[in-house]
Amino acid sequence: MSEKALSELSAGPGMTTRTDNAKPVVTGGKKREGIRVGRALPPVVAFILFIGGWELFCELADMKPYLLPAPSDIVRAATENASNLWVSVYTTISEAVLGFLLSIVLGVGLAIVLASSKLVERSVYPYAIIMQTIPIVAVAPIIVIWFGAGMNAIVIIAFLIGFFPMLSNTLIGLNSTDHNMKNLFYLYNASPIQTMFRLRLPAALPYIVAGLKISCTLAVIGAIVGEYIAGIGGGKGGLGYAITVAASRLHTAYLFACGLSASLLGIAFFLLVNAFSKWMLSSWHESEMNSSEG
């Protein structure tokens, strides 16, 4: 029997086979590209209209730059003070990253300890909540007395602000493990440590990632607040110090530039954590699988 007849039989009744070497046209990628462009276009247009309206209003109303600078004034101030601005951004990044990492290590570590014993959780967790309710400006002077002004105190303040979201979300995730899976581990004589690190902690990863997304932006805010309270001046001051100096000298355009830099820094932190979340969860968790397919 010829190869053509064999291919027709294997195709089944009512079906035809392709004998040419033509490749099917893939349209899924172009469709996804069009969806992404369609989603990104409205915010971009709104941003352009907002900036253009702001610039036009300042020009028509003859606004003084120290009252309301135009976007062009802000760009000019950032360009003229680029070296100082980069130093301030770098200092704030260092403080925020250290505080963020500290909040991850201690937040996840304490959550594991609390989740290991209900008695310990009932005894300690209320005090963690009380700590979170105390305003940081009330605790900051004590931190400065204990650790001194400068980097150490600022990192501690950034840590304190970002610590509770990590603790709370991780603890919720550890306590939300499927009981059937825990019973299965118990039947196989798994130790509490094995159950914690091979079942409960992996199952809590989506909750831990949610805590990371909250804590990363709070760490930037904590670093800037810490620079207000415990920062040191000079050529290595962070964004908080730069904002204080700009406000005292009525350099409003540079003040806006520092504020926007702090905002972009928080957005960059969030996008990095979000990318890490997608990389870690997209292969098995529904939340990220659905978003990656869309």
Residue 6 exposure: Cα atoms within 13 Å on the Cβ side: 3
Q: State the Cα–Cα distance between residues 163 and 161, nearest whole angstrom.
A: 6
| Spatial CA neighbour of 236 closest among 101, 99, 92 | 92
- Share above pLDDT 90 across residues of the chain, in percent, rounded to a whole number: 32
User: Sign of dihedral through CA atoms 144, 150, 152, 157?
Assistant: positive
Q: What's the pTM? A: 0.79
Q: Look-up: residue for tokens 């028509």?
A: 60
Buried b (16+ CB within 10 A) or exposed e, 16-53: eeeeeeeeeeeeeeeeeeeeeeeeeeeeeeeeeeeeee
DSSP for 104-164?
A: HHHHHHHHHHHHH-HHHHHHHHHHHHHHHHS-HHHHHHHHHHHH-TTHHHHHHHHHHHHHH
Residue 15 is predicted with a pLDDT of: 44
User: In the predicted model, is pLDDT for residue 262 greater than 70?
Assistant: yes
Cα 224 to its chain centre, rounded Å, is 16
Cα 195 to its chain centre, rounded Å, is 29
Residue 252 exposure: Cα atoms within 13 Å on the Cβ side: 11
> Do residues 213 and 162 make contact, with C-beta atoms less than 8 angstroms apart?
no
pLDDT (mean) for 14-18: 44
N-terminal to C-terminal alpha carbon distance within the chain? 47
Helices vs strands, H then E, count in the chain? 14, 0
Three-state DSSP state, 275 = helix
56-95, pLDDT tens digit by residue?
988 888 888 888 899 999 999 999 988 889 999 999 999 9
Domains of the chain, earliest start first: 3-59 (no CATH), 70-293 (1.10.3720.10)
Q: What are phi and psi of 257, to 5 degrees?
A: -65, -40
Q: State the Cα–Cα distance between residues 85 and 203, nearest whole angstrom.
A: 42
The residue that leads in pLDDT, 153 or 292, is 153
166-177, pLDDT tens digit by residue?
999 999 999 988
Three-state DSSP state, 67 = coil
Residue type (1 letter), 261: S
> Do residues 199 and 177 make contact, with C-beta atoms less than 8 angstroms apart?
yes
108-123, pLDDT tens digit by residue?
999 999 999 889 889 9
Residue 171 is predicted with a pLDDT of: 94
